[in-house]
Amino acid sequence: MKKSSNSLLAIALMATMFFVACHPSKKIENATGAKELTLPFSEKEYRSDSKTFRAKNFGKSPDLALAKKIALQNAKNELSSNIKSTFKKVMDQYTNQRSTADVQDYENKVEENAREVVNETLSGIRVIGEKVFQEPDKSYTYWVAIELGKEDIVASASKTLSKDQKLQIDYDQKKFREEFDKEMMKLENQ
C-alpha cells in the first residue's frame, strides 16, 4: 500500500512538473493573479541586429505632443547609449591591435570622437513605429521605436577619426570596419 501511494505521489508530482514546464506563465497567473504583458515593439524586427541599431521607449504626459517628445528623447538616449557602448568596445579592440606611442592619449581622443560620432549620426535616425495610448486619467502614453543603420555610423566614424591628425596616423579603416562588423554580429545573436 505504501509503495502504491508513493507511486501515485510520484506520478502526481511529474504531472505537476509537466504542467508547469508547458505553461509557466499560466501557472504564475493562476497562483498570483498577475498577468503577463507584452510591451509595444518587443518583436524581433524592433531589436538591434548586425545591420541596424534600434531602440524603443515611451513618454507619458497629459499633453500628447509632450508625451511624444519625451518618448523620442528617451529612445534617442537609449540608442545613443547602445551606439557609444558598441563603439567603445570596437575601439578598445582596435586600440589593442594598434601600436601607438601614447596609448592613453590615443584612447582619450577616441573617447572624444565617439561622442562626436554619436551626436552627428543621431540626426539620421528613422522612426519605425509609433503607438499612442490614452490612460484612464486622460493622460497619454506614447511609444516610439527608432533605428539607425550601421553604415551611417561607420561613415561618420571614418570621417571623424580620419580628420583628427593624431588618430589619422594610426587609423586603418579596413581594420576598424572588421572590428565594427564583429561587434554588430554579436547584436544579431542576442
**What is the sign of the dihedral through the CA atoms of 120, 116, 114 and 176?**
positive
The residue with cell 499560466 is 26
Tell me the pLDDT tens digit for each residue of 24-53.
Answer: 556 666 677 788 888 999 999 999 999 999
Residue 150: closest CA among 187, 190, 97, 102: 187
HEC per residue, the chain? CHHHHHHHHHHHHHHHHHHHHHCHHHHHHHHHCCCCCCCCCCCHHHCCCCCEEEEEEEEEECCHHHHHHHHHHHHHHHHHHHHHHHHHHHHHHHHHCCCCCCHHHHHHHHHHHHHHHHHHHHHHCEEEEEEEEECCCCCEEEEEEEEEEHHHHHHHHHHHHHHCHHHHHHCCHHHHHHHHHHHHHHHHCC
Tell me the pLDDT tens digit for each residue of 69-119.
Answer: 999 999 999 999 998 888 888 877 776 666 555 666 766 776 777 777 787
Distance linking the first and last C-alpha atoms of the chain: 52
Q: Which amino acid is at 39?
A: L
pLDDT for res 106: 66
Would you list the domain boundaries of the chain? 2-32, 44-188
Paired with 166 in beta bridges are: none
Out of 3.30.160, 3.10.129, 3.30.420, 3.30.2030, select the CATH number for domain 44-188. Answer: 3.10.129
Q: Is the pTM of this model over 0.85?
A: no
Q: How confident is the model at residue 57 (pLDDT cuts 50, 70, 90)?
A: very high
Question: Out of 112-116, 145-149, 161-165, which region has the weakest mean confidence (pLDDT)?
Answer: 161-165
